[in-house]
Amino acid sequence: MKTKLFLLTFLTFLCSCEQEGDLTQDAVPIVVDQPNTVNKYQGVFLPTSGINGTGIVKIYLENNQYKLALENYSISSGPDLKVYLSKSNTPTEFVNLGNLNSEIVYFIPQNVDLKQYKFVLIHCQQYNHLFAVAQLIQN
């Protein structure tokens, strides 16, 4: 019995092994510096079939750097959600901005021509499932 208990404890220890490190601490929210920024584009997320939620996306220009921020964002959670800047409302030609985290501001790479990207998508990369689409409208 002791042997079984030992093995069970050991296996539980192995299975529960996850600990944050220096590079995986909670992100410090970056606030868009409103007085020095221009809200260039914005859109409202529409969830796809079977997905619930709402949210707004805004793209700011600050010191010649485009930044993307999510506001009032609340959409069904998924296992591997990414934020895509996309040329269409499906993930065919896109820029992957990284993991979805509504607390952070995404820096858009300098070589991206925003005029070609009319949509922001929330897409589950692991299971290739589209969660929400926002069409960008120029302000």
Residue pair 95/104 in contact (Cβ under 8 Å)? The answer is: no
C-alpha R_g of the chain = 19
Distance CA 33, CA 49 (A): 35
Q: Which two tokens stand for residue 92?
A: 């065919």
CB of 129 to other proteins, least distance (A): 12
Total residues contacting other proteins (rule CB under 8 A)?
A: 31
Query: For the window 20-59, what string marks contact with other proteins as x by the rule CB under 8 A?
Result: xxxxxxx---------------------------------
Distance CA 120, CA 86 (A): 6
Q: How many CA atoms lie within 13 A of 31 on its CB side?
A: 3
Exactly one of 32, 51, 95, 114 binds other proteins (CB under 8 A); which one? 95
Residue 77 makes contact with other proteins by CB under 8 A: no
Residue 18 makes contact with other proteins by CB under 8 A: yes
Exactly one of 40, 52, 88, 99 binds other proteins (CB under 8 A); which one? 99
Residue 14 makes contact with other proteins by CB under 8 A: yes
Residue 73: count of CB within 10 angstroms of its CB? 18
Exactly one of 29, 80, 88, 138 binds other proteins (CB under 8 A); which one? 80
Residue pair 137/43 in contact (Cβ under 8 Å)? The answer is: yes
Give the nearer residue to other proteins in terms of CB position, either 26 or 115.
26
| DSSP three-state, residue 76 | coil
Residues in contact with other proteins by CB under 8 A are 2-3, 6-7, 14-15, 17-26, 80, 82, 91-99, 101, 109, 125-126
